[in-house]
Structure 1
Amino acid sequence: MVRISARQRQARLATRHRLAVKAATPEEAAASVVALHGTDPATVFLSAGARLAAPGPGPVERALYADRTLVRMTGMRRTVFVVPAELVPVVHHSSMPAIALRERRSLLKVFGEGGWDEARLTDVQASVLRALAEAGEVTAAELGVLEPRLREQIKVNAGKRYEGMISVGSRLLGLMAMEGLLVRCGRASGTWISSIHRWGLAPEMPKLAAADAQVELVRRWLAAFGPGTEADLKWWTGWTLADVRRALAAVGAAEVELDEGVGHVLPGDLEEVPQPEPWAALLPALDPTPMGWQARDWYLPAAHRAELFDRSGNVGPTVRITAATAGGNPNLDYIEVVQ
């Protein structure tokens, strides 16, 4: 079994994630890490900028809002990503049916506290689709005018200290996006860090069997993040271990020896990658590179993990310097080198 060292993994990361060798376009930058994390609007621009030869908001806005070659969608682990348009069907069919089913059940349970049932929810959903077919792309607030039931408030967790009110639209629109019915479109107002966007009808999506979509997503993950372990893939995708193993077998992944055990690479990806020239990258919170693996000791000593990652495995802003990782607080008031 071929052994791949931590230093060699760092060389692969630097080159393939476009940190040492920059990308020409935001589309190339996103594809280099499969998808950009999109929960925080600023992360999309900063993650792309860290990988672009000519960084700036303009190219990313062009890809997101004009050309729509990058699409913001809910994907693996119920997380919002910005995905190359051609990869949207793969991400959706590999992960979203199961996530959307769980979300619908959860939503019906929550809404049931406010007297809603599935028939009423389905009726509002159909009304939203009709409204968007007529109006085109609108904000959630504008959609609430077209379909007032979206603005209805429901009390949740009644009698508990975290009791609160939520609007129907705050949950339903997200569910409809998970089901492939709606898409987050152009920014409605504000600057590139604004989180206010428009909703529109999702374009028709090519049909893919879930197993085929999972195989393609694993192939892309291995191309970007390999070598990695089954545990890494299970964490990154949110799938069952059985699904991960089935996809790895279908890809024909080759086993390699890593410090933490058996890893996997694409067939034919066993040759050493040349060490790049010295490089440095400023990466925002939730950047795809540090978020790519569950096991992180090969690039960050375990003693420092709590300084950069929260309990859910989400990373704060980091600085990567050749084969080192440095981290700072969310405001970057200071930077502490930890390796």
Structure 2
Amino acid sequence: MKLTDLGYKDHFEKYRAEQKLLQFEVGRVISEHKERYVVITEKGEYDAEITGNLRFSAKCREDFPAVGDWVALSIFDPDFSIIHHILPRSAVLSRQAAGQPTEKQIIAANIDYALLVQATDRDFNLNRLERYLTICHASGVSPIIVLTKTDLIDPDTLASLIDKVRRREKGLPVFAISNETMDGLNEFKSIIEKGKTYCMLGSSGVGKSTLINRLSGRDTMQTGAISDSTGKGRHVTSHRELIILENGGILIDNPGMREVGITDQEEGLGYAFDMILQRAPECRFKDCTHTNEAGCAVIEAVQSGELDSDVLENYLKLQREISRYETSVAEKRKKDKQFGKILKDYQKRDVKGKGN
């Protein structure tokens, strides 16, 4: 297997030469679990860990390798290799780390397309879909909407769901498939490009693992059932993993995400809700919040039926999340700066005390 088959591009090689990293092997991180990594190179797969220097210099979670990263490494044997350097990332999908309001968690790096998977039964949720779209647009990743389990609903209901998605998310590709009857699967397979990287996003139990098995042509992923009592999926994928598909496409699977926290993704919000931004310049006030101002063109669009009220409510909710995240980050930086000043003053006094 060549590096180009794994998505390697010319700018990575140029960077390696500029940074004098050519003495190291280069590979792509295909799985990560508790700071232990599996890296694939032209020679095969290797267990890896990062150098002490890389660990010491890391200021946050983003500074550690993530699935999809290209890394420079030294290989000693199949069970032991060392990652020295992470090559610059492009198109990084990230979300707010669970329980850590100032931390980002990288979902996957160096992504071309995101497959936004929703089941057509109890999982279907347009507001959640817009969360995923906000993340994608902020990262420069092209989204593709995939509706699964179409065999569980009648054709009229399916047509209605597809229409809802297309009316609310205009211009985006939408595919409806069944992993059981295979309906729509060949059409979906035909868009997967060799050497391109796809990241699969969705809740537990929407059929991601089964879909991967269909796309890869083998039982790559273990599959699980849905709880009849709760309607919720059971976790099957426990960590992120990169898989080479039957036609040469590259797919990154993710554990089902119950929470999709938004970070500093204001630009992505604008793309995901472009119908609001198109009307905003018509508002009477330049700083209109689209909540209760007189002369708000966005509110008028809702009142006239041109814009769905759910769209505006979800937009305002995500906007508040972005504002809270940015405020939390600013407060953390302020506290870190104050602590650094206290530490510096203490060190100065300590030096003076020793001098006396």
Q: Using structure 1 for the length normalisation, give the TM-score.
A: 0.26
Q: Greater Rg, structure 1 or structure 2?
A: 2
Q: Using structure 2 for the length normalisation, give the TM-score.
A: 0.25
Higher helix share: 1
Tell which has more relative contact order, 1 or 2 (C-alpha 8 A, sep 6+): 1
